[in-house]
Structure 1
Amino acid sequence: MVAMRFLVGALRRAMSGPSPGRPRGLVYEKHGEPDRVLQLKDVSLPQLGASGVHVKMLAAPINPSDINMIQGMYAVLPDFPAVGGNEGVGQVVQIGSNVTSLKPGDLVIPADAGLGTWRTEAVFEEDKLLKIPPDIPLMSAATLSVNPCTAFRMLSDFVTLKPGDSIIQNAANSGAGQAVLQIAAAKGIKTINVVRDRPNLQELVDRLQSLGADHVITEEALRKPETKDLFEKIPKPLLALDAVGGKNATEMLRCLRHKGTMVTYGGMSKQPVAIPVSALIFKDVRLRGFWMTQWKKDNNKEKLSEMITELCTLIRNGQLASPACQEVPLADYQSALKASMAPYVTAKQVLRL
């Protein structure tokens, strides 16, 4: 009887948890809080097929969009059962007979969202992957396809910026914010970077300035009349980048020059953006939105590849570093989720796969 109970218990553990040496992934079968619905399980690999690419995943970050997708609060939601994660880097193990753009050993990143990157191995279609150079540092490669691309497009697609111009952005310590200020600095564009006040504020200010930030101010300071003194040193911003919404976005909007543009790409405050009528009438400001997933749908893979090439050049030149990252083994995903959802996040959690 004891032996039978032991056997039944072993079978249950084998069915509920991952098996050593088997492909594993963080799987969810319903929407909810990630720490409750995600489970580390064995995942099956489909047949390679003619256009398939077998990839060994190396590292994948935890982004806010990943959390929102699992919660069911994102514009694109996968079918169940689903594997979490939209970004990461992997290495090609094997290719199908019709695959021409990749070969074993190549490093690849997702060409689009929704692939489910929080897994040790996967078989993806060739057109869902993008080859990157082998000399890109692992953390830069793992965090390349979302935030740096978002930053690059927002700095390129909405207004014509030239050296000496300025922009203002909130959530400047986020992955996208850090990419924005570095790419802007590489182009000679001045940045005003707005962050939340916090106990280690000076440490954050020092880090952002080391990346190329010209000015770092708190949300509270942005609301004060003294902010206008900034514009005696640099011109008023032509572009505002908003990832927060609410009052913070409204205050940035007041700083824009005549016919300036504000681009909203996130809503971390979960508050609507209030637009002063005077800004519309007397300053003729433009309000736009941006979503990287939609940009990828509207543009071909060649244009995406061109952008990745430019970003990789910046990385090689030391002009675009990855955000501060904390590498966490896949088995410790619960601690990584907790850290990524804590207030005042200082490091991006990256799952080592």
Structure 2
Amino acid sequence: MRQARYEKRGPVPQEVIECVESPTPEPTTGQALVAVEAAPINPSDVLTLTGDYGMLPSLPAIGGNEGVGRVVRCGPETEGPEEGQLVLIPVGIGTWSSHVVADVRKLIPLPDQADPKQLAMMTINPPTASLLLSEFVDLKEGDWVIQNAANSGVGGYLVQLARLKGYRTINVVRRESAVEGVKAQGADVVLVDGDDLHKRVREATGGEPVRLAIDAVGGAATDRIASCLAEGGTLVNYGMMSGEPCQVSPANIVFRDVTVKGFWLAKWFERASPDAQKTVFGQLTKLIATGQLQARIAAEYDVSQIKEAVAAAAAGERDGKVLVVPSHDE
């Protein structure tokens, strides 16, 4: 089998990872061998390679945190999904690989008629978008939500989920070339970031209040999106794409009573009950399987092309997600 392995971390992520070949393992009792169909490269994966993410695996490690595959066989005296069944691979076991061995109890069967490439992106970005919309402000149909990094993976899911719930979205991007792609996903308003953002938002909404702002950029962009909120509004940060700490002025925090919170999906998993997790993923699986929730795919690479794949994922101005799609021709 082929795996994308790294033994160190460094500032240029594609330089620390490489494809290695090793014998395909045999599953033991309680395990299943799964042939990986698709696994995305998320911003968190790139930050893990550079050492800048909040949770880092011990080294050496195999890249990739989520993905889907088909069961090849189960271990001896083990009951699990049937051979050929499409399954969701457990988070964090190194999915940039042609095969993985997983605990059968943690494999979640998926609808075979659904697109595996779309389902491969289900574990991280869709629940993040869903929970950002539900956990912080009690939104009603017709309410406005503003987000930056709207052309990101999370941003695209958030646009679609908000539309399904009847919320209206103001979507901020950092370049003009990203506008049409966000509009195509159902955005109500798309604006390029700038110092006068709050004025253009007020014009776009007709002065209606915006109670929830979602920030993935950090730096001065955090304060610009905070300035678009109504008095007493809530800003939630879940990323730092600018590489800079969030900046929020006293004018927004003190005089306009803006609340600033953070969100990390890993922390939600720690606190959420199994039933809560099952509910979120059940809803998302249905939406993805029926084509109501989709992500744009920019490029696909085999495991043997992992350096090129990581470089593409780390580069700016992409229009969609980069996927690792292993070949199984051996």
Q: TM above 0.5, one fold?
A: yes
Asked if the contact 2:18–2:306 (Cα under 8 Å) also holds between the matched residues in 1, the reply is: no
- For 1:188, the aligned partner's letter is G
Q: Which moved more, 1:94-103 or 1:328-337?
A: 94-103
Aligned residue among 235, 260, 280 for 1:307: 280
User: In the alignment, which residue of structure 2 is the partner of 1:121?
Assistant: 99
| CA shift digits 1:65-102 (9 cap, x unpaired) | 11111112112212222111112111112224675563
User: In the alignment, which residue of structure 1 is the partner of 2:197?
Assistant: 223
Asked if the contact 1:147–1:175 (Cα under 8 Å) also holds between the matched residues in 2, the reply is: yes
Q: CA deviation at 1:269?
A: 0.8
Q: Which moved more, 1:177-186 or 1:235-244?
A: 235-244
Task: Tell me: CA distance 1:196–1:256, structure 2 relative to 1, closer, same or farther (3 Å).
Answer: same
Asked if the contact 1:194–1:222 (Cα under 8 Å) also holds between the matched residues in 2, the reply is: no
CA distance in 2, matches of 1:98, 1:151: 40
User: In the alignment, which residue of structure 2 is the partner of 1:36?
Assistant: 15
Asked if the contact 2:2–2:22 (Cα under 8 Å) also holds between the matched residues in 1, the reply is: yes
| CA shift digits 1:202-254 (9 cap, x unpaired) | xx322211211000000126536343212317x32211111001111101111
Q: Which runs of 4+ in 1 moved over 6 A?
A: none
User: In the alignment, which residue of structure 2 is the partner of 1:176?
Assistant: 154
CA distance in 2, matches of 1:36, 1:77: 18
Aligned residue among 236, 243, 253 for 2:226: 253
User: In the alignment, which residue of structure 2 is the partner of 1:19?
Assistant: none
Secondary structure at 1:134 match in 2: coil
CA distance in 2, matches of 1:222, 1:109: 44
Q: CA deviation at 1:279?
A: 2.1
Aligned residue among 173, 180, 191 for 1:206: 180
User: In the alignment, which residue of structure 2 is the partner of 1:68?
Assistant: 47
TM-score (norm 2): 0.91
Structure 2 alignment gaps of length 5 or more:
none
Asked if the contact 2:119–2:288 (Cα under 8 Å) also holds between the matched residues in 1, the reply is: no
Task: Tell me: CA distance 1:224–1:239, structure 2 relative to 1, closer, same or farther (3 Å).
Answer: closer
Task: Tell me: CA distance 1:93–1:304, structure 2 relative to 1, closer, same or farther (3 Å).
Answer: farther
Q: Does 1:77 align with 2:77?
A: no
Asked if the contact 1:52–1:123 (Cα under 8 Å) also holds between the matched residues in 2, the reply is: yes
CA distance in 1, matches of 2:271, 2:77: 26
Task: Return the structure number with greater relative CO, CA threshold 8 A, min gap 6.
Answer: 2
CA distance in 2, matches of 1:42, 1:333: 13
Matches within 5 A, 1:309-324: 309-324=282-297
Task: Tell me: CA distance 1:221–1:319, structure 2 relative to 1, closer, same or farther (3 Å).
Answer: farther
User: In the alignment, which residue of structure 2 is the partner of 1:11?
Assistant: none
Asked if the contact 1:61–1:85 (Cα under 8 Å) also holds between the matched residues in 2, the reply is: yes
| CA shift digits 1:125-182 (9 cap, x unpaired) | 2344333222221221111111111101111111111110010000000000000000
User: In the alignment, which residue of structure 1 is the partner of 2:67?
Assistant: 88
Q: Which has the larger radius of gyration?
A: 1
User: In the alignment, which residue of structure 2 is the partner of 1:57?
Assistant: 36
CA distance in 2, matches of 1:47, 1:149: 33
Secondary structure at 1:255 match in 2: coil
Aligned residue among 153, 167, 183 for 2:131: 153
- Number of residue-to-residue matches in the alignment: 325
User: In the alignment, which residue of structure 1 is the partner of 2:271?
Assistant: 298
Task: Tell me: CA distance 1:115–1:259, structure 2 relative to 1, closer, same or farther (3 Å).
Answer: same
TM-score (norm 1): 0.86
Asked if the contact 2:115–2:289 (Cα under 8 Å) also holds between the matched residues in 1, the reply is: no
| CA shift digits 1:250-303 (9 cap, x unpaired) | 011111112211111000112122222232233322211111122122224443
User: In the alignment, which residue of structure 2 is the partner of 1:9?
Assistant: none
Secondary structure at 2:194 match in 1: helix
CA distance in 2, matches of 1:127, 1:243: 34
CA distance in 2, matches of 1:88, 1:108: 9
Over aligned residues, Cα RMSD in angstroms? 2.0
Task: Tell me: CA distance 1:259–1:98, structure 2 relative to 1, closer, same or farther (3 Å).
Answer: farther
